[in-house]
Chains A and B, each alone.
Chain A
């Protein structure tokens, strides 16, 4: 292996476990809802967005309309907009590799590439490409193994869907512990609870999104994030 490909591989070591385990969970979940095994890796290949794919399984089974699906994706993945913004200059001259680098800009890829490049790197775009595609590979592989395990193993995987809840609860707890300002998290949780009570479990998501945007906009001056100057 080339020295800089090796550097890219070493860089991705911290995300191997999480991509494989979360991918595995996603694969098991997909086949447990009755989808053929190849849909999990195929979805991972095309979408490549961890938490959104867990929600996707739910949208599939719930028979949700395409517009609601698009809105949901927009809100959940909106943060990726800002990964792109901070990589604008870094990827500017990436040439033929640029579309793939942008496509594969997940939370993990961003966290691995937003800092300084290691000293072994001679061709930086090749290095970015390697890091991005290693991650993509683990994610697809994890989904495939999970889907095959779900089909082949005679275990009862009932309840495995809780891995999605656990994932978001962990992210919420982590943000709660580290956020400078908890108001946005409270707005998200509170608006959704209120709308769940008002509109019921089938209909509450769109009103909740509206209420969240409204409150975040109205309370902009009161949140620390609103004061911070970019």
Chain B
């Protein structure tokens, strides 16, 4: 792995740890949390997952339109199977297997 790769892993590890430790450093017992921060904590998880879905699909090829079919079908299968069965792992495995199959037979 390149130096940049090692640094990337270390930055992610450090920022993740910083996030986990900061409440214990910033808000010792008895010190209230600002309402704005509390609000962001409630809404950011929803907004950031929406962003991540777009992030994952950012490189999907729309020219020609048919090239996007494996992604469209696999995402649809993931959503529908989750709505029917409410089993996250099963839907992740189904969607991934479907995608791996489709890119082999369709493209």
Max count, chain A CB within 10 A of own CB: residue among B71, B79, B96: B96
Measured between beta carbons, the chain B residues less than 8 angstroms from A217 are 36
How far does the alpha carbon of A94 sit from the alpha carbon of B55 in the complex, in Å? Answer: 39
Contact indicator A168/B59 (Cβ below 8 Å) = no
Measured between beta carbons, the chain A residues less than 8 angstroms from B67 are none
Interface members, chain A 148-193 (any B CB < 8 Å)? 157-160, 162-175, 177, 179, 182, 184-193
Specify which of A160, A173, A184 is in contact with B47 (CB 8 Å cutoff).
Answer: A184
Interface members, chain B 81-95 (any A CB < 8 Å)? 82-83, 86, 88-89, 91-93, 95
Mask: chain B, 65-88; 1 = CB below 8 Å from A; 0 = not: 000000100110011001100101
CB distance from B43 to the nearest CB of A (A): 4
Contact indicator A170/B22 (Cβ below 8 Å) = no
CB distance from A124 to the nearest CB of B (A): 17
Q: Decide: A173 near B27, CB < 8 A? Known: A78-B40, A189-B51, A212-B51.
A: no
Measured between beta carbons, the chain B residues less than 8 angstroms from A186 are 50
How far does the alpha carbon of A56 sit from the alpha carbon of B12 in the complex, in Å? Answer: 8
Interface: A73 (CB within 8 A): yes
Contact indicator A159/B50 (Cβ below 8 Å) = no
Interface: A114 (CB within 8 A): no
CB distance from A57 to the nearest CB of B (A): 10
Contact indicator A77/B19 (Cβ below 8 Å) = yes
Q: Decide: A79 near B44, CB < 8 A? Known: A69-B11, A103-B17, A169-B79.
A: yes
Q: Decide: A76 near B103, CB < 8 A? Known: A17-B89, A166-B91.
A: no
Measured between beta carbons, the chain A residues less than 8 angstroms from B59 are 201
Contact indicator A105/B5 (Cβ below 8 Å) = no
Contact indicator A85/B55 (Cβ below 8 Å) = no
Specify which of A59, A69, A159, A212 is in contact with B99 (CB 8 Å cutoff).
Answer: A159
Q: How many A-B residue pairs have CB under 8 A?
A: 252
Contact indicator A163/B89 (Cβ below 8 Å) = no
CB distance from B97 to the nearest CB of A (A): 9
Query: Interface size on A (CB < 8 Å)?
Result: 93
Q: Decide: A166 near B74, CB < 8 A? Known: A73-B12, A75-B48, A196-B54.
A: yes
Interface members, chain B 7-29 (any A CB < 8 Å)? 7-13, 15-17, 19-24, 27-29
CB distance from B77 to the nearest CB of A (A): 9
Contact indicator B44/A78 (Cβ below 8 Å) = yes
Contact indicator B58/A204 (Cβ below 8 Å) = yes
Specify which of A46, A70, A85, A196 is in contact with B27 (CB 8 Å cutoff).
Answer: A85
Contact indicator A75/B96 (Cβ below 8 Å) = no
Measured between beta carbons, the chain B residues less than 8 angstroms from A75 are 44, 48, 51
Q: 16 A-B pairs, CB-CB below 8 angstroms?
A: A18-B89, A59-B8, A81-B22, A84-B21, A103-B21, A168-B56, A169-B95, A170-B88, A173-B79, A184-B50, A189-B50, A192-B53, A192-B54, A209-B51, A216-B47, A226-B43
The 5 closest A-B pairs by CB, nearest first: A188-B50, A188-B47, A84-B23, A189-B50, A192-B54
Other than A60-B8, A167-B92, A170-B95, give 17 A-B pairs with Cβ distance below 8 A: A17-B89, A36-B1, A43-B13, A60-B1, A84-B20, A84-B22, A98-B24, A159-B104, A171-B49, A182-B46, A184-B50, A185-B50, A188-B48, A189-B50, A189-B51, A192-B55, A216-B44
